[in-house]
Amino acid sequence: MVHDLQRNRITLKQALRQLLKFIKRTTHEIIIIDFHRFVHGFDDEKDLPAMRRRLQTFIQIIHEQLGPYIIPYSSKGLPTIGNLIANNQRILIGYAYKFDVRQLPDSFIFWPPVQHLWANTDKMAELESYMDEQICKPSKSYHNIHLLRSIMAELTPTVEGVLFNRYHGLREMAATVNMHYEQWFRYRWPNCTNIVAGDFFLGSDLIDIANDVNRQRFQSSK
């Protein structure tokens, strides 16, 4: 709902209702929602009881909108994808706020947050170097559960670069990176990759690459 400090017009309820429409129209899609920053209405709250009430409302909204489809937290880790689909529990919610919600009602909906690997650069060489250094490192763990991990396979524009039209638009910027997905994720790092975040993903073969790599992983695990 917030990009850095900039609020979007869409509310939490509206976004969750859109997700609900999508999940009802599909049968095998699994959605990961990662609440990893709480900028407005949380970080600036000093009153602990008020914070608890606000978080309880936050949890209640999520549970009311997505309840039957939420994957409940388990200290044993995630079930198999087959079990999730069979039980029609296909929405995983990550939570990374500093306030521990485990004692609040319905807090079972929250899993540990997704670990985000972000180079924060607008230079292709720096992005590739960062990915090469980070992507195959062991993922962090939380109570012995390995965190899901996303690699931000995209360039990040600077304010100066945007003002001087250095990139000729985000789509062209994304195309510069997307052409490397085949080499990176099919051949170079297929066994290290968990989640890939890309811009304008329809301008790449990322979905086909993911399908093929996962089939190969499944076959090799037999």
Q: What is the pLDDT of residue 143?
A: 64
Give percent of the chain above pLDDT 70. Answer: 90
Return the beta strands (E) in the chain as ranges: 2-3, 6-7, 31-35, 91-95, 110-111, 115-117, 141-142, 145-146, 149-152, 195-197
Would you state the torsion angle of the CA atoms of residues 168, 172, 177, 179, taken in this order, to the nearest 10 degrees?
-140
Q: What is the pLDDT of residue 47?
A: 75
Q: How much is the average pLDDT of 100-114?
A: 80
Residue showing tokens 């180079």: 119
* Cα 66 to the center of its chain, rounded Å: 17
How far is it, in rounded angstroms, from Cα 79 to Cα 113? Answer: 17
Q: How much is the average pLDDT of 15-19?
A: 96
Q: How much is the average pLDDT of 72-86?
A: 90
Residue 120 has pLDDT above 90, yes or no: yes
Q: What is the pTM of this model?
A: 0.84
Give percent of the chain above pLDDT 90. Answer: 58
24-69 pLDDT, tens digit each: 999 999 999 998 877 666 666 677 788 888 888 999 999 999 999 9
Q: What is the pLDDT of residue 51?
A: 80
Query: pLDDT grade, residue 104 (50/70/90)?
Result: confident
Q: What is the pLDDT of residue 221?
A: 81
Query: pLDDT grade, residue 206 (50/70/90)?
Result: very high
Which of 83, 78, 3 is closest to 39 using CA atoms? 3
How far is it, in rounded angstroms, from Cα 125 to Cα 122? Answer: 9
Q: What is the pLDDT of residue 97?
A: 66
Mean pLDDT taken over the chain: 88
Residue 73 has pLDDT above 70, yes or no: yes
- Give the range among 77-81, 118-122, 138-142, 200-204 with minimum mean pLDDT: 138-142
* Tokens found for residue 92: 């995983």
Q: What is the pLDDT of residue 108?
A: 87
